[in-house]
Structure 1
Amino acid sequence: MVNLEEVLELVKKGYTNPKEIAKTLNLAVEEVEGMMRILESLGYIERVKLGSSLCRSCPLRKLCSGECIHFRGQIYLIFKKEVSK
């Protein structure tokens, strides 16, 4: 059974959306989305808000040419908080 720590580890490795994580862990996307909502509510990850301020909050803004691809999913970033065991 997959736990929150496994999902968090994939986010740390650069997996950015629930579909990627679900495929990697062989889970339903809805299951991963639920786990990510829990991690977000606990303060371990933060959802990147899409909209007019997208470029200011984008972690790739320093590498970007300024022409955004409009992603219609959700991207998450990791905080520097460690999981308690």
Structure 2
Amino acid sequence: MNIQLRFFASVREKLGMAEQKVSLPEGINTVGEVRAWLVERGDIWAEVLTPGRALRMAYNQQMCEADTHISEGAEVAFFPPVTGG
């Protein structure tokens, strides 16, 4: 399955990229599994996307949870929580 990854704010800065097209291996079907797969890349990926780090996720530009199912051509985005006043 091919998807588009997007990274925002400090996640983008730490990874050094705003987006990336990827072909997922078999068995990755949810946003959380995408995150875990990226963490397995190690190095900066593991540091930025580790499960203990507070991150927001979006699927096709809608906020989502880790158990959200994905489909071919989807967009999955990661970004830090935002506060405002």
Q: Same fold (TM over 0.5)?
A: no
Q: Which has the higher helix share?
A: 1
With normalisation by structure 1, the TM-score equals 0.30
Higher strand share: 2
